């Protein structure tokens, strides 16, 4: 009588044991990555958030919309002046005679006076920190002979940098029907300013500047609100609204935010802060490959050596949602037949980068060394080996 009862209990025990194992497995299995939240919706005509190093766009809205740049124009004005300083064509102490036209500029000014002599260094700080329209024109006249000549330099540089939605009509940002840009183009000049002029970029973080007994504060009040912010430029006209290009560094990650067409200074600051916080909270940037690093090796035929080392020409950085780096993988694809001679920089493969979302990019793998062709007997030997392969 006990046996049937015992047998009927066994399946229940087994089922309970299996259920217990399943519960334990679910308890110790990795948690699923949380979905990436949508970017914040800002009270702005257009906006853009990018990583400075990788260039990845983290959030955008109307980024290619044509807008009036206002004093954001001065980023290009300063870029060209600093380029001349770096070339040795001028220096901070070079004197500039102020013209009547420069003094007459309306709007924000550093209050230079006609006929006085002001150094390039003072004018540059008046341009960057005080956002002086008068200093913009004075520098333009000094470096190009006239503001229009300087505008030609601005448009040429914009074309060179790939700012396809930008046209400059003056050096200061005063309203003009043929003076326009986009949030995407503003990110290009911002990246160039930070990358190309590292010794001069700290000027954008200066909180105030005094000239001729008049002290003016930097209009980018994010410099006071967020210690990670170190630039870059504000702009405002009635048509453009309140605009701000900002940049910050946290945990060795630099982001650039562009916010245009907001209703007030308070709004442009708050919305820029929201963009930056979103980027830092949900993304990170890491170096995946270093320039010259050996990533793979490949068989060589007809050469004085049997293998060639392959790598990348430049450092490669990726910006991904934080959880995606755990899933990042590289699939190496090498050419089937590599024949000497080989020059440094010749492409013989690719690294296909993948995450849980699929393929996110491909990187050419280049020869890191030169390999000369082998002698005739070696080439004959390799030809035979290839034939039988």
Tell me which residues are annotated as active site.
71, 74, 131
Show contacts of 2-7: CB within 8 Å, 24+ apart. Answer: none
284, 323 Cβ separation under 8 angstroms: no
Give every CB contact of residue 112 below 8 A, 6+ residues apart in sequence: 98, 102, 103, 118, 123, 126, 132, 134, 135, 138, 211, 212
Q: Name which of 164, 192, 177 is nearest 80 in CA terms.
A: 192
Q: Name which of 69, 81, 65 is nearest 167 in CA terms.
A: 69
Q: Name which of 322, 320, 313 is nearest 363 in CA terms.
A: 313
Give every CB contact of residue 222 below 8 A, 6+ residues apart in sequence: 229, 244, 246, 269, 272, 273
Burial of residue 70 (number of CB atoms within 10 Å: 0-12, 13-18, 19+): buried
- Any idea of the CA torsion for 13, 15, 21, 25, to the nearest 10 degrees? -160
Separation CA 58–CA 47 (nearest Å): 11
Q: Give Cα separations from 199 to 154, 193, 203, 285 (angstroms).
A: 21, 10, 9, 23
């Amino acid at each position: 009588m006990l046996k049937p009862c015992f047998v009927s209990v066994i399946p229940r025990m087994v089922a309970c044991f299996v259920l217990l194992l399943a519960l334990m497995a679910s308890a110790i299995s990795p948690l699923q990555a949380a979905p990436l939240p949508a970017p914040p919706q800002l009270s702005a005509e257009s906006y853009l958030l990018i990583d400075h190093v990788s260039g990845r766009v983290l959030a955008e809205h109307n980024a290619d919309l044509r807008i009036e740049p206002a004093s954001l124009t001065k980023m290009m004005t300063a870029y060209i002046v600093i380029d001349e300083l770096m070339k040795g064509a001028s220096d901070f102490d070079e004197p500039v005679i102020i013209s009547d036209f420069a003094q007459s500029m309306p709007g924000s000014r550093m209050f230079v006076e006609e006929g006085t002599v002001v150094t390039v260094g003072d004018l540059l700080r008046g341009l960057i920190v005080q956002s002086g329209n008068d200093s913009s024109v004075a520098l333009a006249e000094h470096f190009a002979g006239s503001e229009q000549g300087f505008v030609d330099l601005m448009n040429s540089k914009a074309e060179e940098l790939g700012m396809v939605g930008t046209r400059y009509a003056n050096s200061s940002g005063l309203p003009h029907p043929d003076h326009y840009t986009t949030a995407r183009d503003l990110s290009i000049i911002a990246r160039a300013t930070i990358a190309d002029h590292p010794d001069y970029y700290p000027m954008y973080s200066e909180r105030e500047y005094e000239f001729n007994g008049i002290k003016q504060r930097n209009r980018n009040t994010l410099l006071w609100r967020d210690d990670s912010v170190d630039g870059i430029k504000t702009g405002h006209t009635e048509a453009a609204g309140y605009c701000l290009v900002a940049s910050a560094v946290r945990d060795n990650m630099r982001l650039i935010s562009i916010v245009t067409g907001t209703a007030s200074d308070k709004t442009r600051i708050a919305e820029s802060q929201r963009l930056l916080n979103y980027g830092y909270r949900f993304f990170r940037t890491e170096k995946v490959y270093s320039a010259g690093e050996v990533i793979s090796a490949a068989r060589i035929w007809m050469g004085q050596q049997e293998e060639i080392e392959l790598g990348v020409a430049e450092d490669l950085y990726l910006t991904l949602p934080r959880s995606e780096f755990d899933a990042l993988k590289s699939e190496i694809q090498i050419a089937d037949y590599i024949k000497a001679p080989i020059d440094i920089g010749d492409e013989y493969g690719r690294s296909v980068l993948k995450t849980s979302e699929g393929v996110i990019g491909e990187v050419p793998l280049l020869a890191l060394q030169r390999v000369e062709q082998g002698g005739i007997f070696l080439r004959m030997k390799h030809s035979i080996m290839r034939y039988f392969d």
